[in-house]
A = this chain, B = another copy of it.
Amino acid sequence: MVAKHKQACSIAGFLNIFGDAWTFLIIREAFYGTTRFSDFQRHTGAAKNLLSERLSMLVENGILEKVNVGTMGARYAYHITDKGRSLQPLLAAIILWSNDNLYPEGQEPNLVVNRETGEPVREFDLHLKGLPEGDLQKFAVVAGPGASDAARERLGTIAR
C-alpha cells in the first residue's frame, strides 16, 4: 500500500499514487506494451497481491483502463489511458537523470535514443511555458489556491 499523505502539496498528491517502488515499473511496462496481468508480473517481478492492488489503484486513478478482451468468458487487459501517456516526459526524464547520475558511462541499463537514427539522447531540458528558455532558476514554488493555511504562511502565494 502506498502511504497516504494528508498534507496539501502537489508533490505529496503525486506520491500518494506513484510513491512506491513498483508503480513506475508498472507504468514502464504499460509503455513497453504490456497489457496482461501475468506479463506485468513476469516483467516487474512484483508479487501477485501487490501487483493486483497497484493495477486496481492505477485503474481507479484513470492511468490504466481495465478492458475485458475475452471472447470465451472474461479475460482482462490493462491499457494505458491518455492520462497515463502524459507521464511519458516524466519517464524519459527519470531515465536520463538516472543514467547521468547513477551509472558510469557505458554501463547504462537503458538508453533513450532517437527513434529514426538510433542516436542516444543524453541530456534533457525542461521548458516551462512562460519562462525564458533554459532559465530554470527563474521559477519559484508557492502556495496555490488549494494550499493549507500553514503552507500559505510558509511558502507565500507570490514568488519569493
Tell me the complex Cα distance, A90–B123, Å: 13
Give the number of copies in the complex. Answer: 2
Q: Taking the complex as formed, is A73 at the interface, i.e. its CB lies under 8 A from any CB of chain B? A: no
Given contacts A20-B19, A113-B140, A145-B106, contact A118 B11 (CB under 8 A): no
B124 touches A101 (CB 8 A): no
Q: Taking the complex as formed, is A93 at the interface, i.e. its CB lies under 8 A from any CB of chain B? A: yes
* A7 partner residues in chain B, CB cutoff 8 A: 45
Q: Taking the complex as formed, is A122 at the interface, i.e. its CB lies under 8 A from any CB of chain B? A: yes
Q: Taking the complex as formed, is A67 at the interface, i.e. its CB lies under 8 A from any CB of chain B? A: no
Total count of chain A residues near the partner, CB < 8 A: 89
Docked complex: A101-142 residues within 8 A CB-CB of B: 101-103, 106-131, 136-142
* A93 partner residues in chain B, CB cutoff 8 A: 89-90, 93, 126
> Which residues of A come within 8 Å of B, CB atoms?
2-3, 5-17, 19-22, 24-25, 28, 31-32, 45, 83, 86-103, 106-131, 136-148, 151, 154-155, 158-160
